[in-house]
Amino acid sequence: QVPYQPSSPRQVANTLALLRGRAGKTVDLGSGDGRLVLEAYKQGLRPALGFELNPWLLCLANYRAWRAGYHGKISFLKKDLWKVNLSDCHNVIVFLAPSVKPPLATKLLAELPDDARVVAGRYPFPSWSPSSTLGQGLDQVWAYDIKEVRR
């Protein structure tokens, strides 16, 4: 269980700045109210989808997508991130608790393609060296290029 904390506007901006110029399927693991997925889609990262288990947050995310005119263009799925296959994902957004990071790192390294980039917010992956970072304090985000992490 990971408590819901909405991303600040600065966290969203920093996350998307580290994904600027990239292409391919973009997923947010634990997408909450959908704000990161919505912004990713707006900035041309497609397809964009979120995985979230909380039904209220899924409802809110789908409402926000509908309100933005993206109904049917963005997907929010009630799926356990541990049970989804991420092998076709090129951009992964992770704003999850530190306790989740070590087992998630193992899953990401096993499934993601070499050209994938993972952007973590709030807490870095403890055993990975970031390719780049942006922001300070709570607004800091870390980007990890999987090919580099595997080296």
Q: Which domains does the chain have, with CATH numbers?
A: 9-150 (3.40.50.150)
The residue type at 8: S
Residue 143 has what pLDDT?
Answer: 98
User: CA-to-CA distance for 32 and 22, rounded, in angstroms?
Assistant: 23
Residue 5: predicted pLDDT:
86
In tens digits, what is the pLDDT along the chain, a chain of 151 residues? 567 888 999 999 999 999 999 999 999 999 999 999 999 999 999 999 999 999 999 999 999 999 999 999 999 999 999 999 999 999 999 999 999 999 999 999 999 999 999 999 999 999 999 999 999 999 999 999 999 999 9
Pairing of strands 26-29, 91-94: parallel
Sheet holding 26-29, edge to edge: 75-77, 48-51, 26-29, 91-94, 117-121, 141-145, 132-134
pTM score of the predicted model: 0.96
pLDDT at 21: 95
